[in-house]
C-alpha cells in the first residue's frame, strides 16, 4: 500500500463522522410543510416560475398520497412526522452557489469537511468535488481539463439558473416524477442543493466525480437532488458520500437521483451511506438507459435508523445493461430495507444484482427487489444473487424478491442464501492466532469483498473501516 | 366491510339448515355461525402487489352468482387401508366426536380470511382420516367429483404417535351443471403427531370454468414428517396455498408442487413453511409449465423463527414458458430470525432449451415430439418425489394429455 492509502486507513473514521458543529444557519424555514414554505424556498433561491410550479404540484401530490404502511415487513415509519421536520436550512455562506476554494469556506464548515477527508480525496483522485452542508452546496470544483471538454459539474440550484433547458427537460419529468411515491413528492416540493452532472457526447471523464452531503442540524430534512445526464457514448463515475452526527430527534433524508444514460453511454453511481442512527433515509434513485447503454449502481448502506431505498433501472433500449452491487449492514436498532428494481423493456437487455447483507445485535436487513421483464423483451437475461450473513438470533434477515416475467425467451435466475458466520472458519482463524473479534472481522471483510473491490480505493478503505467500527460496536 | 359480495341466499337460516340436515353437534353449528358473522369484517386472502400491479385479482370473483349454499353435490369414493379410519365428515362426527371437535380449526382458523370463513360456514363434504398409534397405512384415496355449481369441502387428518399414512386426493368435475362458472373450496388440516409420517398428494383437474380456492396446512409435531404434493392442472383460476408449521423439534416437511397452465388459466400457487422449533428441515420444490396466455403467480415463504436453532430450509421454483403470451410471476421469500440457519432459495424462468431441442431434432425426433419430451422431462424432479406409483402415473398422464 502507498503511504496515502496507509494514511487514509489510519484516519480515525469514528471521529471523522460522529462530530457535531454548533448550528450557524443564516436562514431556515419553519418546521413542517406548507405552500408558504415551498414558496419561501423557491423565492430564496430566486427560481424561475416553472420550477416553483413543479414544486407546488409535487406538494399537492405529497399531500394526496398516503404513507407506505402496507408493505410486508417494512420499517416502522410512524415516527416520521413531516410537521416536525425543518425542510430547509441555508448555512451562513456568502457565496450562494458555493465557493471553489476550500480556504474561502467559513472555518466551521471547512473544518467539517477537513475531518471528513474530502479536500484530501479531491487532491488525490477526483476530477471534481461538490460538498453540501445542510440544504446548500458550499463548495464546488471541477478540474479545468474536463470543463474544456464541455463537462458540467455544478450544484443543482445553480444548474436551474445556468442550464434551464437541460434541467427543465430532465428534472423530475420522465425519470423520477413526484407521483412515483410519497417521498419523491416530498422531495419534489422541498428539494435543495445536490449535483448536476452533464457529460457531452463521446466524452469520457476518467476520474470519478464526487459529492459529499453532510447533515449537521438536529431535526432537519435533507433533500438534495442529483441529476446526471450522460449523452450518447459518454462515460462518467459519480460518487456520493453522506453523513450526519447523531441527535436525539430524528432526521429525514429524502434525496432524489435521476440518471440518464444515453446510447452506448456508461454511468457508474457509487454511494457509501453512513447517516447517523436517528436518520430516516427514504430516497428515490432511478436510471433510464438507452440502447447499448450501461448503468452500474454500487451502494453501501451502513448508517440510518431506517432505510427504504431501491435504486432502479429502466432498460429502455435494446442491448442496455444494468449491474447492481449492494451491501447493507444493520446493527442495533437499525432496519435497512434495500434492494434493486430493474425493468427490462427492450430486447437483449441484461441485468445482474448482487446483494450482500450483514445483521448483528438485533439489526434488521431486507433485500426487496423487483425484476420486470416486459412482453417483447426477448433474449433478455437477469440474475439475482443475495447472500445474508447473521451474527445472532436477535437479528433478522429477509429476502423478498419479486419477479414479473412476461416474455418466454428469457433467462431468469434468482438465488439467495442465508447463513451464520461459519464456526469452522472462526476456529481455523483462531487456531492461526487471531482472536475471536479479529477472526469475525476478517470473515466479514472477505464476505463484502465483491463490493469493496468495485469501489475506488478511498471508498473501499472507508467502507472497510466503517465495517470494522460496526463490528467493534463502537459507532453510536 | 369485506371487499367481496355475499352469496345470494346466504343467511343464518341457510347455515342452520346445512348443519341441522347433517345432524351436527352444537359446537360445529356455533363455529359455522361465528364464521358467517365474521364474513362482513374479513378480507380476501392477501395477494402480492408490486408497483401498479396486483398479481391475482380475487376481487373479480362474483360470489353472489357463483355460490349456491343449499345446492351442493359431490360423489366421493374413499378407500382405506387396514387399521386406519377414513370417514366422511358426518360419520366422523358420530364415531369420533371429540377427535373432530379438537382437530377442526386447530391449524386453519375458520376466521382467517373471507374464503376460509365462507368455507367453514357452508361446507357439506369432506373426509376425516384418523390413524391410530403405530398404524402404517399406505393406500388411502379420496376421489371426488364435483356435481354442483359450488362445493365446499373440509378435510381433517390426524395421525397419532409413530403412525404413518399416504393419502391421495383428487378432484374433478362430474355431471354437467347448469352454470357458466363454478366455485370449489377445499380446506385441509393435518395434525401430525409425534414421530408420525404423512404424505398427502392432491390432484386438481377441474373443468376450466371453475374457480378454486384451496388452503392446506399441517401442524407438524416432534420428529414428524409431512410431505405435500400438489398438482394443479384444471380450473380457470386456482388459488392454492400449501403450508407447514414445523412446531416440534426435528420436524420435517417437503412441499412439492406442479402446475401446467394453458388457454387463459391463472394459477396462484403458494408454498410456505414456518420453522418454530429446533433442528427442523424443509424442502420446497415447485415446477410449472405455461402455454398460451396462461399465467402463474408463485410465492414461497421460508420463515425461520427466533427459537428455530439449526434450521435447514431450501426452496426451488422453476417455470418453463412455452408461449410468448404467457406470464410467470414469482416471489420466493426468506424471513430469517435465527442465525443458526442454513437457508437458500432459487427461482428460474426460461423456455425449452434450444440446444436440447436441436440435439433431439438432429436425432430425427419430430420437433413437436421433442418439445413434448422436454416438457415431460422438466417435471421429472417433481414426479420423482411421489412415492405412490398410481398417483405419479395419474399426473404423468394428465401432463401427457395436455401436450397432445
Crossing angle of the two packed helices A423-431 and A436-447, in degrees rounded to 10? 120
In this structure, of A131-135, A415-419, B43-47, B319-323, the range with the lowest mean pLDDT score is: A131-135
Q: Given a cut of 80, is residue A393 above it in pLDDT?
A: yes
**Beta strand extents in B247-294 (DSSP E only):** 252-261, 266-275, 281-290
Indicate yes or no: CB of A414 within 8 angstroms of CB of B309: no
Length of chain A: 476
Residue B1: predicted pLDDT: 35
Interface with A, mutate which of B336, B344, B348 (most A CBs under 10 A)? B336
Indicate yes or no: CB of A403 within 8 angstroms of CB of B330: yes
> A138-152 b/e with 16+ CB inside 10 Å = b?
bbbbbbeebeeeebb
Specify the residue for cell string 463515475: A237
Q: Give the chain B residue nearest A423 (alpha carbons).
A: B340
Closest CA to B24 of B82, B86, B97, B76: B97
Give how far A270 is from chain B: nearest CA, Å.
Answer: 25
Indicate yes or no: CB of B336 within 8 angstroms of CB of A396: yes
Indicate yes or no: CB of B341 within 8 angstroms of CB of A390: yes
Q: Given a cut of 50, is residue A62 above it in pLDDT?
A: yes
Give how far A214 is from chain B: nearest CA, Å.
Answer: 32
Indicate yes or no: CB of B340 within 8 angstroms of CB of A420: yes
Contacts with B320 (C-beta within 8 Å, 6 or more apart), sequence order? B287, B288, B289, B290, B350, B351, B352, B375, B378
pLDDT bucket at A278, cuts 50 / 70 / 90? confident
Check residues A240 and B124 and name the one with the higher pLDDT.
Answer: B124
Distances from the Cα of A197 to the Cα of A66, A147, A232, B263, angstroms: 33, 11, 14, 50
Size of interface A-B (CB pairs under 8 A): 122
Q: Give the chain A residue nearest B340 (alpha carbons).
A: A420
Give how far B309 is from chain A: nearest CA, Å.
Answer: 9
Handedness of CA B99, B100, B102, B108 (dihedral sign): positive
Question: By the CB < 8 Å criterion, does B357 face chain A?
Answer: no
What does R_g of chain A's alpha carbons equal in angstroms?
Answer: 21
Q: Residue B340: its chain A contacts at CB < 8 A?
A: 393, 420
Q: Given a cut of 60, is residue A11 above it in pLDDT?
A: no
Indicate yes or no: CB of A420 within 8 angstroms of CB of B333: no
| % of chain A surpassing 90 pLDDT | 46
Residue A34: predicted pLDDT: 87
Q: Given a cut of 80, is residue B5 above it in pLDDT?
A: no
Segment B215-242 shows an average pLDDT of: 98
pLDDT tens-digit series, residues B381-399: 999 998 888 899 999 999 9
Q: Given a cut of 60, is residue A94 above it in pLDDT?
A: no
Per mean pLDDT, which of A108-112, A355-359, B85-89, B382-386 is the most reliable? B85-89
Mean pLDDT of chain A: 83
Segment B64-82 shows an average pLDDT of: 91
Segment A51-74 shows an average pLDDT of: 92
Closest CA to B232 of B170, B167, B155: B170
Q: Residue B342: its chain A contacts at CB < 8 A?
A: 417-419
pLDDT bucket at A250, cuts 50 / 70 / 90? confident
Handedness of CA B227, B233, B234, B235 (dihedral sign): positive
Specify the residue for cell string 439475482: A384
pLDDT bucket at B3, cuts 50 / 70 / 90? very low
Give how far A5 is from chain B: nearest CA, Å.
Answer: 35
Segment B138-152 shows an average pLDDT of: 95
Q: Give the chain A residue nearest B320 (alpha carbons).
A: A408
Indicate yes or no: CB of A403 within 8 angstroms of CB of B322: no
Residue A25: predicted pLDDT: 60
Segment A33-50 shows an average pLDDT of: 91
Q: Give the chain A residue nearest B305 (alpha carbons).
A: A393
Crossing angle of the two packed helices B389-403 and B367-378, in degrees rounded to 10? 150
Mean pLDDT of chain B: 94
Quick one: residue B194, left, alpha or beta (phi over 0 = left, psi -120 to 50 = alpha)?
Answer: beta
Question: By the CB < 8 Å criterion, does B323 face chain A?
Answer: yes
Question: By the CB < 8 Å criterion, does B319 face chain A?
Answer: yes
Q: Given a cut of 80, is residue B35 above it in pLDDT?
A: yes
Segment A367-384 shows an average pLDDT of: 95
For residue B103, the cross-strand partners are none
Question: By the CB < 8 Å criterion, does B162 face chain A?
Answer: no
Handedness of CA B106, B112, B114, B115 (dihedral sign): negative
Residue B272: predicted pLDDT: 98
Count CA atoms closer than 13 A to A280's CA, side-chain side.
20
* Integer Cα distance of A279 and B5 in angstroms: 44
With beta carbons less than 8 A apart as the criterion, state whether A392 and A424 touch.
no
To 5 degrees, how large is the angle CA A79–CA A84–CA A88? 125
Indicate yes or no: CB of B349 within 8 angstroms of CB of A410: yes
Q: Give the chain A residue nearest B306 (alpha carbons).
A: A393
* Integer Cα distance of A327 and A308 in angstroms: 14
Closest CA to A261 of A305, A197, A186: A197
Interface with B, mutate which of A66, A71, A399, A444 (most B CBs under 10 A)? A399
pLDDT bucket at A111, cuts 50 / 70 / 90? low
Q: Residue A392: its chain B contacts at CB < 8 A?
A: 339
The ipTM assigned to this model is: 0.89
Indicate yes or no: CB of A414 within 8 angstroms of CB of B342: no
Question: By the CB < 8 Å criterion, does B324 face chain A?
Answer: yes
Question: By the CB < 8 Å criterion, does B348 face chain A?
Answer: yes
Give how far B306 is from chain A: nearest CA, Å.
Answer: 6
pLDDT bucket at A116, cuts 50 / 70 / 90? low
Q: Which of A375, A388, A404 sits opposite B336 (nearest CB)?
A: A388
pLDDT tens-digit series, residues A1-10: 344 444 434 4
With beta carbons less than 8 A apart as the criterion, state whether B291 and B322 touch.
yes
Q: Given a cut of 60, is residue A388 above it in pLDDT?
A: yes
To 5 degrees, how large is the angle CA A236–CA A241–CA A244? 160
Segment B19-28 shows an average pLDDT of: 96
Per DSSP, the three-state class of B389 is: helix
DSSP letters spanning B17-66: HHHHHTT--HHHHHHHHHHHHHGGGPPPPP--EETTEES--GGG--HHHH
Indicate yes or no: CB of B50 within 8 angstroms of CB of A402: yes
Indicate yes or no: CB of B340 within 8 angstroms of CB of A396: no
Check residues A443 and B345 and name the one with the higher pLDDT.
Answer: B345
- The dihedrals phi and psi of B100, each to the nearest 5 degrees, come to -65, -40
Check residues A60 and A222 and name the one with the higher pLDDT.
Answer: A60
Q: Give the chain B residue nearest A361 (alpha carbons).
A: B339
pLDDT tens-digit series, residues B38-71: 999 999 999 998 888 899 999 888 888 889 899 9
DSSP letters spanning A27-51: EEPPSS--HHHHHHHHHHTT--HHH
Indicate yes or no: CB of B333 within 8 angstroms of CB of A400: yes
* Integer Cα distance of A355 and A335 in angstroms: 16
Q: Residue B344: its chain A contacts at CB < 8 A?
A: 415-418
Question: By the CB < 8 Å criterion, does B346 face chain A?
Answer: yes
* Integer Cα distance of B243 and B306 in angstroms: 19
Amino acid at each position: 500500500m502507498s503511504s496515502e492509502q496507509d494514511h487514509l486507513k489510519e484516519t480515525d473514521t469514528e471521529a471523522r463522522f460522529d462530530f457535531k458543529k454548533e448550528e450557524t444557519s443564516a436562514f431556515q424555514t419553519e418546521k413542517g410543510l406548507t405552500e408558504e414554505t415551498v414558496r419561501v424556498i423557491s423565492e430564496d433561491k430566486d427560481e424561475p416560475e416553472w420550477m416553483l410550479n413543479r414544486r407546488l404540484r409535487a406538494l399537492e401530490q405529497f399531500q394526496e398520497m398516503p404513507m407506505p404502511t402496507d408493505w410486508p415487513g417494512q420499517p416502522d415509519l410512524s415516527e416520521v412526522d413531516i410537521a416536525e421536520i425543518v425542510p430547509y436550512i441555508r448555512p451562513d455562506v456568502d457565496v450562494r452557489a458555493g465557493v471553489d476554494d476550500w480556504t474561502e469556506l467559513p472555518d466551521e464548515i471547512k473544518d467539517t469537511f477537513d475531518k471528513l477527508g474530502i479536500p484530501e480525496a479531491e487532491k488525490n483522485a477526483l476530477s471534481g468535488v461538490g460538498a453540501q452542508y445542510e440544504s446548500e452546496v458550499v463548495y464546488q470544483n471541477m478540474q479545468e481539463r474536463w470543463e474544456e471538454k464541455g463537462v458540467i459539474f455544478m450544484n443543482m440550484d445553480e444548474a436551474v439558473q445556468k442550464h434551464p433547458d437541460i434541467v427543465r427537460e430532465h428534472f423530475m419529468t420522465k425519470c423520477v416524477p413526484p407521483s412515483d411515491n410519497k417521498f419523491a413528492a416530498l422531495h419534489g416540493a422541498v428539494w435543495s442543493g445536490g449535483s448536476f452532472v452533464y457529460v457531452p457526447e463521446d466524452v469520457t471523464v476518467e476520474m470519478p466525480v464526487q459529492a459529499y452531503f453532510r447533515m449537521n442540524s438536529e431535526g432537519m430534512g435533507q433533500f438534495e437532488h442529483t441529476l446526471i445526464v450522460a449523452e450518447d457514448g459518454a462515460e462518467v463515475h459519480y460518487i456520493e458520500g453522506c453523513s450526519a452526527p447523531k441527535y436525539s430527534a430524528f432526521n429525514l433524508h429524502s434525496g432524489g437521483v435521476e440518471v440518464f444514460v444515453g446510447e452506448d453511454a456508461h454511468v457508474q453511481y457509487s454511494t457509501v451511506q453512513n447517516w447517523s442512527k436517528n436518520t430516516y433515509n427514504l430516497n428515490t434513485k432511478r436510471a433510464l438507459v438507452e440502447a447499448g447503454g450501461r448503468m452500474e449502481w454500487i451502494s453501501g448502506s451502513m448508517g440510518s435508523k431506517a432505510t427504504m431505498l431501491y435504486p432502479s433501472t429502466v432498460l429502455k433500449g435494446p442491448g442496455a445493461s444494468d449491474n447492481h452491487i449492494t451491501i447493507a449492514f444493520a446493527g442495533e436498532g437499525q432496519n435497512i430495507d434495500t434492494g434493486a428494481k430493474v425493468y427490462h423493456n427492450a430486447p437483449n437487455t441484461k441485468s445482474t444484482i448482487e446483494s450482500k447483507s450483514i445483521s448483528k445485535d438485533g439489526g434488521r436487513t431486507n433485500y426487496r427487489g423487483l425484476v420486470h421483464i416486459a412482453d417483447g423483451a426477448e433474449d433478455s437475461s437477469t440474475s439475482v444473487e443475495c447472500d445474508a450473513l447473521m451474527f445472532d438470533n436477535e437479528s433478522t434477515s429477509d429476502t423478498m424478491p419479486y419477479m414479473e416475467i412476461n416474455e418466454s425467451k428469457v433467462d431468469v435466475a434468482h438465488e439467495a442464501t442465508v447463513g451464520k458466520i461459519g464456526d469452522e472458519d472462526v476456529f481455523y482463524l483462531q487456531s492461526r492466532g487471531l482472536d475471536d473479534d479479529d477472526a469475525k472481522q476478517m470473515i466479514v471483510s472477505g464476505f463484502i469483498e465483491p463490493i469493496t473491490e468495485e469501489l475506488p480505493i478511498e471508498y473501499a478503505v472507508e467502507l472497510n473501516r466503517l465495517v470494522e467500527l460496526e463490528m467493534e460496536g463502537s459507532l453510536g | 366491510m369485506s371487499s367481496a359480495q355475499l352469496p345470494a341466499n346466504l343467511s343464518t337460516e341457510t347455515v342452520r339448515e346445512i348443519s341441522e340436515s347433517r345432524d351436527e353437534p352444537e359446537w360445529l353449528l356455533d363455529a359455522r355461525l361465528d364464521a358467517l358473522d365474521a364474513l362482513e369484517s374479513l378480507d380476501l386472502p392477501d395477494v402480492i402487489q408490486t408497483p401498479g400491479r396486483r398479481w391475482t385479482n380475487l376481487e373479480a370473483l362474483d360470489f353472489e352468482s357463483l355460490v349456491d349454499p343449499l345446492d351442493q353435490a359431490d360423489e366421493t369414493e374413499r378407500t382405506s387401508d387396514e387399521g386406519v379410519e377414513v370417514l366422511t365428515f358426518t360419520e366422523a362426527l358420530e364415531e369420533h366426536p371429540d377427535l373432530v371437535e379438537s382437530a377442526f380449526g386447530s391449524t386453519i382458523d375458520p376466521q382467517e380470511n373471507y374464503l376460509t370463513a365462507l368455507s367453514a360456514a357452508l361446507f357439506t363434504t369432506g373426509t376425516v382420516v384418523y390413524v391410530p398409534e403405530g398404524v402404517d397405512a399406505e393406500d388411502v384415496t379420496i376421489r371426488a367429483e364435483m356435481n354442483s355449481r359450488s362445493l365446499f369441502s373440509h378435510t381433517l387428518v390426524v395421525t397419532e404417535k409413530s403412525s404413518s399414512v399416504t393419502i391421495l386426493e383428487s378432484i374433478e368435475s362430474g355431471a354437467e351443471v347448469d352454470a357458466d362458472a363454478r366455485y370449489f373450496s377445499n380446506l385441509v388440516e393435518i395434525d401430525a403427531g409425534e414421530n408420525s409420517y404423512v404424505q398427502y398428494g392432491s390432484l386438481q383437474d377441474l373443468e376450466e370454468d371453475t374457480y378454486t380456492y384451496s388452503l392446506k396446512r399441517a401442524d407438524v409435531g416432534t420428529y414428524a414428517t409431512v410431505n405435500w404434493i400438489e398438482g394443479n392442472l384444471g380450473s380457470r383460476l386456482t388459488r392454492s396455498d400449501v403450508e407447514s408449521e414445523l412446531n416440534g423439534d426435528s420436524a420435517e416437511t417437503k412441499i412439492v408442487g406442479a402446475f401446467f397452465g394453458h388457454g387463459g388459466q391463472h394459477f396462484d400457487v403458494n408454498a410456505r413453511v414456518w420453522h418454530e422449533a429446533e433442528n427442523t428441515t424443509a424442502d420446497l420444490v415447485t415446477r410449472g409449465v405455461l402455454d398460451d396466455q396462461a399465467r402463474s403467480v408463485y410465492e414461497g415463504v421460508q420463515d425461520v423463527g427466533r427459537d428455530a436453532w439449526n434450521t435447514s430450509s431450501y426452496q426451488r421454483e422453476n417455470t418453463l414458458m412455452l408461449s410468448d403470451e404467457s406470464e410467470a410471476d414469482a416471489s420466493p421469500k426468506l424471513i430469517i430470525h435465527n442465525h443458526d440457519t442454513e437457508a437458500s432459495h432459487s427461482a428460474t424462468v426460461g423456455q425449452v432449451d434450444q440446444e436440447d431441442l436441436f440435439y433431439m431434432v438432429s436425432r430425427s425426433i419430430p420437433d413437436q415430439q421433442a418439445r413434448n419430451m422436454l416438457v415431460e422431462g422438466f417435471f421429472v424432479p417433481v414426479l420423482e418425489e411421489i412415492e405412490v406409483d398410481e398417483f405419479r402415473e395419474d399426473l404423468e398422464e394428465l401432463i401427457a394429455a395436455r401436450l397432445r
